[in-house]
Structure 1
Amino acid sequence: MSKQSSDQSQPKKAQKKHRFFLNLYEDCAFTKCPKCETNTKIRKFPLVIHIKPHQLFVLNKQCKYCTNCDLIIVKKQEIESLMAFGFSQINTEIIGNKYLVLGTIDKKDWKENQKSCLSPHDIMERMFIFADEWNFKVIPAGWYPKE
C-alpha cells in the first residue's frame, strides 16, 4: 500500500500541513522568507483559530507564504483586528481573549462553512494542523561587534 493512499484514509486532523509563523513585529512585513531568504508570495489560507474559552473561528486570510519552506506568515495585529471586527456584532465579550491559530482547512470546507456553518467538531475533523510553528527574532540592520 502506498503512503499516499494511506494518508487519504486518515482523518485530516491526524495530518500535518504547512509551517506557521505568527509575526509579532508591526514594522516587519517579511517580503523575504526569514529561513531561506527567497521572496514570499501572497496566498489566502482559511486559518482555524481557537479563541478561549470555547470558540472556533475560521478566517480566510491573505498571508505571506514561502513555497520553498511551506511557511505561512501571519501578522498578529491583522488577525486581532479582523477577529475584533468579526465579533463586534455577534459576541463582544470574546474580543481580546487569548487565541491560538491551530491550522488550516481546505477551501471547499471553508466555502461549506460559509454556507451552512459547520459544527466545531466537523471543523476539527477537516482541519490540517500545522506541521511546525517557527519563531524568528528580528535583528535591526546596523554594525555590530563580531561576538
Structure 2
Amino acid sequence: MPKQSSNKLSGKSPKKRHKFFLNPYNDCAFTKCPKCDTKTKVRKFPLVIFIESKQLFILNKQCKYCSVCDLIITKKQELEALTAIGMSQSNPHIIGNDYLVMGTVDRKDWKEGSQNALPLPDLIERMYVFKDVWDFDIIPAGWYPNDEK
C-alpha cells in the first residue's frame, strides 16, 4: 500500500508547536509578554498562512517572541501588508481575502519552498500547527480601584 503524505490522510495527528497571538492593536508593540510579563525577543518565523480560495503562503516574518510562554506575537497590519506584497505578483486577485495563520515550518523547509515550489501535501506534512491561539484585551494605563483590575 502506498504511503500517504497528508497528516489527515495518513491518520496522524498534526505536529504542534508554539502558541500564537495576532496583534490587532496599532499602538501596542508588546515589548513584554501579555501573559507572564517577561521581556519579549524579536525572532523570525516562517509562518504558514491560508488565504481564502485555497492558497497557502509562507511568510518569513519578524515577530515578538516570549520563550517562557512559547508565544509568537505578530502585528496584524504588518502581516496583511507583507502578504499583499507577496501575492501582488503571483496571485493579485486574492489580496484582501480572509486568511488564517495556521502555524510554522522549519527554516530549512521554508528555504526549500522558496527555491522550489513544495507540493501542497509535502508542505502540510512538514507544517507545525499552533498549540493554541490566544487573544488579549488591552487595558489602558491609569489608576483603577482594586476591584476593577
Q: TM-score, normalised by structure 1?
A: 0.89
Q: What is the correspondence of 1:13-32 to structure 2 with a 5 Å cutoff?
A: 14-32=14-32
Provide, for residues 54-80 of structure 1, a one-character-per-residue CA deviation record: whole Å limited to 9, x for no partner.
100000000000000000001000000
Q: What is the correspondence of 1:90-109 to structure 2 with a 5 Å cutoff?
A: 90-109=90-109
Contact map agreement 1:13 1:124 (CA 8 A) in 2: no
Partner of 2:100, secondary structure, is strand
Which moves more between the two structures, 86-95 or 27-36?
Answer: 86-95
Give the Cα separation in 2 of the matches to 1:13 and 1:122.
Answer: 15
Partner of 1:88, secondary structure, is helix
2:62 partner amino acid: Q
Q: Which residue of the partner structure matches residue 73 of structure 1?
A: 73
Provide the identity percentage: 64
Deviation of 1:103 (Å) = 0.3
User: Gaps (5+ residues) in structure 1?
Assistant: 1-9
Give the Cα separation in 2 of the matches to 1:13 and 1:117.
Answer: 24
**1:12–1:24 Cα change, 3 Å:** farther
Deviation of 1:121 (Å) = 1.5
Q: What is the correspondence of 1:17-96 to structure 2 with a 5 Å cutoff?
A: 17-96=17-96
Partner of 2:103, secondary structure, is strand
Q: RMSD of the alignment, in Å? A: 1.7
Contact map agreement 1:12 1:126 (CA 8 A) in 2: no
2:21 partner amino acid: F
1:94 partner amino acid: I
Give the Cα separation in 1 of the matches to 2:143 and 2:11.
Answer: 51
Partner of 1:21, secondary structure, is strand
Give the Cα separation in 1 of the matches to 2:94 and 2:120.
Answer: 17
User: Gaps (5+ residues) in structure 2?
Assistant: 1-9
Q: TM-score, normalised by structure 2?
A: 0.88
**1:39–1:108 Cα change, 3 Å:** same
1:29 partner amino acid: A
**1:126–1:44 Cα change, 3 Å:** same
How many residues align? The count is 138
Give the Cα separation in 1 of the matches to 2:78 and 2:11.
Answer: 30
